[in-house]
Amino acid sequence: MTEPVTPGKGDPGTFYEAEWDEHVAVAAATRAALAAPFARLVEAAERAIAGGGKILFFGNGGSAADAQHLATELTVRYVSDRAPIAALALTTDTSALTAIGNDIGFDDLFARQVRALGRRGDLAVGISTSGRSRNVVRALAAAREMGLGAAALSGGDGGDLVAVADPVLIVPSHATARIQEMHITLGQMLCAALERRLGLV
């Protein structure tokens, strides 16, 4: 497990090198640790799409941006023009988000949407660097109750996600920035691998 680096203050060059050193170390540790769960994530995504389902992505803050990014890569294209892949980010509908947050509660922000939009055979992918975002955990629990696949991207020890999702891709770091960097790398690898497994490129 790699730990955050605190470079010396005031020296951009030292900071620059330390950030790269930490990024490379976390990338190497992630590469070594996550080949098997990544393969299982690709298989779960392929199973959902090949069965006529879709992938639902969700998370908070930077993870919300990742959810939108990955859903767009699938519905539009990753590299080459090809048929669209059904994917949706549950982080983009401001009316739904504010109504759920105001009327029901922030903890149900994604679970409510999963219950409304998810169907048996879909795949829900929750993204939380800590693994302790209650709205992500509750949404994945709802997905499992409904017969959806439930997968997650996390970091540290995986937090509460390990009890509600499988596979969970846990980046071996406690540094939020490094975990987020690995999440988008893994997510884009998922998009590329899914295109190939579905025979679209």
The 10s digit of each residue's pLDDT in 115-136 is 999 999 999 999 999 999 999 9
Q: CATH classification of 34-197, choosing from 3.40.50.10490, 2.40.37.10, 3.30.70.1150, 3.90.700.10?
A: 3.40.50.10490
CA 106 vs CA 96, 99, 133: distances in Å: 11, 10, 11
**Residue 46 has which token pair?**
């392929």
Q: CA 103 to CA 26: how far, in whole Å?
A: 40
Amino acid making up residue 23: H
How many Cβ atoms are within 10 Å of 84's Cβ, its own excluded?
A: 10
| Whether pLDDT at 8 is above 60 | no
pLDDT at residue 189, rounded to an integer: 98
| Whether pLDDT at 5 is above 70 | no
Query: Contact 152/124 with Cβ under 8 angstroms?
Result: no
The 10s digit of each residue's pLDDT in 43-88 is 999 999 999 999 999 999 999 999 999 999 999 999 889 999 999 9
Predicted TM-score of the model (pTM)? 0.94
